[in-house]
Amino acid sequence: MDYKKAGVDIEAGYRSVELMKKYVRETVRPEVLGGLGGFSGAFSLSAIKNMENPVLVSGTDGVGTKIKLAFVMNRHDTVGIDCVAMCVNDIVCAGGEPLFFLDYIACGRNYPEKIASIVKGVAEGCKQAGAALIGGETAEHPGLMPEEEYDLAGFAVGVVDEKDLITGENIKPGDVLVGIASSGVHSNGFSLIRKIFVMTNESLNTYYDELGKTLGEALIEPTKIYVKAMKSIKEAGVIVKGCSHITGGGFYENIPRMLPDGVTAVIEKNSYPIPPIFELMKKNGDLEEKMMYNTYNMGLGMVLALDPADADKAIEAITAAGEKAYVVGSIKAGEKGVSIC
């Protein structure tokens, strides 16, 4: 008996690391010290010494049951982008700049090429976020997970000068809400999606005219990473009063998280185009509209609260960063919460 016969292939682990190194190298920032393979990742803080009062901000998350879609489609190079996005988008909600990222992959069996494909996606997400992938872990769990399956989670650290923290405390009636378009469903609500649609190759390879692509292509589309858009807004001199990352819980859970007491956010649902994937989900699942807004991003991955005088400048900055944005509502006096009309 040996470790390999027990289900853990150490040699496969070595090969996985070798295959992923080229992707990791593409994410390196000047602050990264050392290389991949050590017991910890080192990142110099010398570049933030000029901040008045640097504050570290962090985020951790996974991909959720969207992973099941990757299994069925045998496509593993995009879920890493989702994982990074779910972490760094939370960081930029506080005004932070993501610095570095670490991933954790748990698998039933280590297939080096599959693991490298997952890490390729993680590295792509890090490049989009401007963050360095400085470490990670691949853990083989024979007997605990099926051999063909895996789970993916991550952790990111960023920094912001305390004076630039986005807290929401200055949001007041009359402020406008600007929404930044999502790329689709992102990485939330897939437990319900897997009940709406049959998760088979036949179903996922079905082409829908209204989508302009197959169902699988629409659903596996990676989560948008909003780091560049938020940086562009800051460089334009716009002060973001509040920022909400629309993830699980949709509008009703996430938008109030940025609000102070005494104000309510009013979202005008016809103020922006809703991607057709949501209409298809609503129709096929016979879902109530409120439930849709309480579960999904409905086409808006970020919602920002701004002074009305800054709305046009913010939209210009977001557009310059390659994203689409719309004035989608306003702030009113009232009980803390959100109203969709």
Q: What is the pLDDT of residues 227-279, one digit of tens each?
A: 999 999 999 999 999 999 999 999 999 999 999 999 999 999 999 999 999 99
- pLDDT at position 48 is 87
CA distance 179 to 183: 13
- pLDDT at position 252 is 97
Write down the mean pLDDT value for the chain.
94
- pLDDT at position 135 is 93
pTM, 2 dp: 0.95
Q: What is the pLDDT of residues 35-59, one digit of tens each?
A: 777 788 899 988 888 899 999 999 9
- pLDDT at position 17 is 76
- pLDDT at position 57 is 97
Provide the 10 A C-beta neighbour count for residue 219: 22
Q: Tokens standing for 131?
A: 């963050």
User: Which residue ranges form the domains of the chain, and what is each CATH number?
Assistant: 10-164 (3.30.1330.10), 176-340 (3.90.650.10)
Q: What residue ranges of the chain have pLDDT lower than 50?
A: 2, 5
Helices of type H across the chain: 10-25, 66-73, 79-93, 112-129, 190-196, 201-204, 215-220, 227-235, 250-254, 276-285, 289-293, 311-320
- pLDDT at position 46 is 87
- pLDDT at position 61 is 97
